[in-house]
Amino acid sequence: MATWLTFVLDLAQSGLGNLAAYLAAHVLLCLVPAFFVAGALTALVPKESVTRFLGRNAPKFISYPAAAIGGFVLAVCSCTILPLFSSIYKKGAGLGPAITFLFVGPAINILALTYTGVALGMDIAIARLVLSIVFGIGIGLIMAIIFRKADAARDEQGPDAFGGRARVGGRVWLFLGLLILLLVAGTLQVGLFTNSYASVTLPIAGMDRFQETLYRWVPFDASRGEEGVTAQGAILIGLLALIALAAWRGLNRVDEGYNRWTWVSLGLVGLTLVVAATRMIPLAGGLEIQLTGKMFAVLLVMAGLWYTARRFYDEYEVQEFLWETWRFVKQIFPLLIVGVFVVGALRPLIQPEWIQAIAGSNSVFANLIGVVFGVFMYFPTLVEVPIANLFLSLGMHRGPLLAYLMSDPELSLQSILITAAVIGKLKAWVYVLWVALFSTLAGLLYGAWVDGAALWLIALYLVGLLGVLAAVLGIIGRRVRTGAAAHDATASAE
């Protein structure tokens, strides 16, 4: 009994440690701005301006490339893409383009691709880029055809108040641009932002011992993907808790009006983003705070957002924007927490030493195992690359490795939970099955090339596969349209 209790406590500690590391390292400068971007898209952008390019009835040669390019340009990880995906889907984007956006965004994150090329080789980075775009568009088209009727019914539910004449005004582009700039400034790793330009040391004794204690509670081991919690991370987690308390009182009914908790919560958000943008070094005699270019950029962008909101928007529009942002937080964040905790608890059960035995060759089973790793061994963007390097050093074949890299951003447990909450359980699990299938095929094709198959033969296989898929989709589409026409004719006759 005591052994089982110890085992359960160890899993719980692993889950809590993974959650703490995630909150400290990945939520603030990427996910928090993403929630605000999603809220702005929903509250300020007319539905018709979204459906014009991403709607179900938009030309496919426009909507699907636009969705893929949007995912590429934003360069966000899997957790950050979810609120944006939810926003454009609820705003009227067709299921197919929305799914393409969801798949392509984290899969071809420009930072992850660059890091993949440096750490694992440009061959696997290029394969990941090309196959992600091709398969992302393919999965979107398949989902659009399978759920054509449901998508059409969803289109009919919303009023078309502005028709095709709706446009996004200059003030909206300015506000959205500043929000996206806030996201980019917080995550872009360039010298201008990462360099320190001044520093100050707070006389807080024992910060080095505090850091050692944190690493005992939440271990740090880059080779295993364990990020640990820094002293700065612990401070940020505390600020997040304060934001949650204040926001519950200040944003839950902000559409009805402001109160003092509204300003407290927004002030805490601003303070937290600034703290997250600094660099903190625990010392024996205090805490050194380095003022980075990222911090100055965050301050400048937040000032621009404040001025734009006060100058170009009336009070109710800002209230609606804040309420939509809070709605996304309530919908997505709890599922994200549950998913990250469960993944952290399950991770110790999967031993890396098993990898060589079950994924050392380019078989169907080995590539499926690579996909399964993507579900249960989720790591945030950029962290997944050293983990992939670890798998490679332990003997994983490069084919299953690509299958893992394709599925890891898409099929993590928290991503599945949130996607199901947005589009429904049936659609979500169908999407999961297609991602698993295409990720496995990607690994098999790339692995065959690694094993010596000619590139022209691999390309022929890929073209043949896409041709067969296009033919099947065309047949299904014609049958769906014929059935719909027959149903309309019968209804008219009655």
SS3 130: helix
Of the three residues 318, 349, 380, the one that is the final residue of a domain is 349
Please, which residues have CB within 8 angstroms of residue 107's CB and are 6 or more apart in sequence?
71, 128, 132, 136, 406, 409, 410
Q: What phi, psi does 307 have (nearest 5°)?
A: -65, -45
Angle at which helices 413-423 and 315-346 cross, to 10°: 140
CA 233 – CA 209 distance, rounded (Å) = 15
SS3 201: strand
Angle at which helices 260-277 and 231-250 cross, to 10°: 160
Specify whether 385 is located in the same domain as 454: yes
CA 483 – CA 429 distance, rounded (Å) = 25
SS3 281: strand
Q: What phi, psi does 285 have (nearest 5°)?
A: -100, 5
Of the three residues 349, 381, 397, the one that is the final residue of a domain is 349
Specify whether 323 is located in the same domain as 246: yes
Specify whether 344 is located in the same domain as 418: no
Specify whether 258 is located in the same domain as 204: yes
CA 41 – CA 331 distance, rounded (Å) = 16
Please tell me the total count of domains within the chain: 2
339 inside domain: yes
CB 36 within 8 A of CB 179: yes
62 inside domain: no
Residue 118: per-residue pLDDT: 63
445 inside domain: yes
3-class DSSP string for 43-55 = HHCCHHHHHHHHC
Range of the domain at 383: 360-493
Q: Which two tokens stand for residue 443?
A: 């690994």
105 inside domain: no
Q: What phi, psi does 280 have (nearest 5°)?
A: -110, 135
Helical (H) or strand (E) element with 361: none
Helical (H) or strand (E) element with 306: helix 293-312
141 inside domain: no
Specify whether 331 is located in the same domain as 383: no
Name the DSSP letter for residue 254. Answer: G
Specify whether 317 is located in the same domain as 185: yes
Q: Which two tokens stand for residue 313?
A: 């928007």
How many CB atoms are located within 10 Å of the residue 351 CB? Answer: 7
Model confidence pTM above 0.75: no
Q: How far is CA 226 from CA 62, 295, 335, 380, in A?
A: 41, 26, 21, 11
Specify whether 292 is located in the same domain as 385: no
Specify whether 295 is located in the same domain as 422: no
Residue with tokens 């364990």: 226
82 inside domain: no
Specify whether 424 is located in the same domain as 377: yes
Buried b (16+ CB within 10 A) or exposed e, 322-341: bbbbbbbbebbbebbebbbb
Q: Which two tokens stand for residue 289?
A: 């705070």
272 inside domain: yes
Residue 265: per-residue pLDDT: 94
SS3 282: strand
Buried b (16+ CB within 10 A) or exposed e, 146-182: bbbeebeebeeeeeeeeeeebeeeeebeebbebbbbb
Specify whether 237 is located in the same domain as 366: no
Of the three residues 349, 376, 391, the one that is the final residue of a domain is 349
CB 234 within 8 A of CB 217: no
CA 63 – CA 394 distance, rounded (Å) = 42
11 inside domain: yes
Is the CA virtual torsion 88, 128, 473, 467 positive or negative? positive
Per-residue pLDDT of the chain (494 residues; tens, 9 = 90+): 567 777 777 777 777 777 777 777 656 667 788 788 878 877 887 766 655 677 767 778 788 888 877 666 555 566 667 777 887 888 778 888 889 888 887 776 655 666 677 667 778 888 888 888 888 888 998 898 888 888 777 766 654 433 345 567 788 889 988 988 887 787 777 788 889 999 999 898 888 888 888 888 777 665 555 667 888 888 888 998 999 999 999 998 888 889 999 999 999 999 999 998 999 999 888 899 999 999 999 999 999 999 999 999 998 899 999 998 898 788 777 877 776 777 677 667 766 667 677 888 888 888 888 888 776 666 665 567 667 776 776 778 889 988 888 887 777 777 788 888 888 889 999 998 888 888 888 888 888 888 888 777 777 877 777 777 777 766 766 665 665 555 555 555 55
Specify whether 216 is located in the same domain as 344: yes
Specify whether 230 is located in the same domain as 374: no
Q: Which two tokens stand for residue 229?
A: 């919690």
CB 414 within 8 A of CB 380: no
CB 53 within 8 A of CB 63: yes
Q: Cα dihedral angle (106, 110, 111, 112), rounded to 10 degrees?
A: 50
Residue with tokens 């660099």: 279
